[in-house]
């Protein structure tokens, strides 16, 4: 390969490469980390090395979103002020019973002391709609399943026998037993209550005054969530990456 000659070529950019070509390329065990053509550097490195440089290997890689509409959520964590408007909106929209353990989303709080003054940190949590959901794997009646179109982890309340195995399996404690439905209930990204009606946001995301929760389709490059998750030099993390569940709720400070 003569670099001088390649430099004279017009830069095709990485956008024009089809997913198929990209996959083939990745199968070679190489990843592009430099400027592809036209620039002064054409850098190839092994995938393992490239992934080590990325903040978290649990962050889905471009071209590897397996669903037609790949719904996910970004939490801009440092903006959360625990006003819990999201929690209230979720309860109203999704008819969550007023029981002490009934919830689809919550805000966690961490209090620390720094230089003698109290510091507060808040973190919104909900079902992570994992690509490899442990809850789905353990359900004996297939009452909980991954929606093949949207990737949302859904419940078939009729099939559910209330054995609570999924509750035990979930790494995020995102499930509760709904006494009224007599079945396990969980967040479904407002699929039935809002998305089916053409709304583009979940109730919690729409209610957030600080725009902490950004919901959207990762497949659609025009969405804010796509932009946020593909911003260079932004640290993105997921909760409990060690479980290998490949969650679809991402966290960042932005």
- Interacting residues toward other proteins by CB under 8 A: 78-85, 87, 100-101, 103, 106-109, 119-123, 125, 172-174, 176, 209-210
Q: Smallest gap, in angstroms, from Cβ of residue 26 to other proteins?
A: 36
Q: Give least dist CB 80 to other proteins, A.
A: 8
Q: How far is the CB of 185 from other proteins (least distance, A)?
A: 13
SS3 content of the chain, % helix, strand, coil (to 5): 25, 20, 55
Cα 42 from chain centre = 31
Strands of the chain (E only): list them.
Answer: 30-32, 44-46, 71-76, 105-114, 117-126, 144-146, 153-155, 175-178, 183-186, 213-217, 249-252
Rounded to the nearest whole angstrom, what is the least distance from the CB of residue 117 to other proteins in the complex?
A: 9
Torsion of CA 7, 9, 12, 14, to 10 degrees: -30
């Amino acid at each position: 390969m003569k670099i001088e000659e390649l430099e004279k070529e017009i830069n095709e950019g990485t956008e024009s490469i089809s997913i198929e070509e990209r996959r083939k390329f990745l199968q070679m065990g190489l990843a592009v980390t430099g400027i592809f053509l036209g620039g002064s550097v054409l850098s190839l490195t092994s995938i393992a090395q490239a992934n080590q440089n990325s903040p978290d290997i649990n962050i889905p890689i471009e071209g590897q979103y397996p669903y037609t509409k790949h719904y996910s959520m970004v939490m801009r964590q440092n903006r959360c002020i625990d006003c819990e408007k999201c929690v209230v909106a979720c309860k109203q929209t999704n008819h969550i019973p007023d029981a002490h353990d009934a919830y689809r989303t919550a805000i966690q709080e961490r209090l620390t002391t720094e230089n003698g003054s109290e510091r507060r940190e808040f973190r919104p949590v909900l079902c992570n709609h994992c690509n490899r959901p442990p809850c789905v794997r353990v359900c004996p009646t297939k009452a909980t399943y991954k929606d093949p179109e949207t990737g949302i982890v859904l419940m078939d309340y009729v099939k559910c026998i209330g054995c609570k195995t999924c509750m035990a399996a979930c790494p995020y404690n995102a499930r509760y037993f709904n006494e009224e439905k007599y079945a396990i209930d969980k967040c479904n990204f407002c699929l039935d209550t809002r998305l089916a009606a053409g709304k583009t946001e979940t109730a919690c995301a729409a209610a957030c005054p600080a725009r902490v929760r950004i919901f959207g389709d990762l497949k659609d490059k025009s969405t804010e969530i796509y932009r946020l998750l593909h911003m260079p030099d932004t640290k993105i993390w997921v909760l409990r990456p060690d479980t290998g569940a490949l969650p679809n709720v991402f966290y960042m400070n932005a």
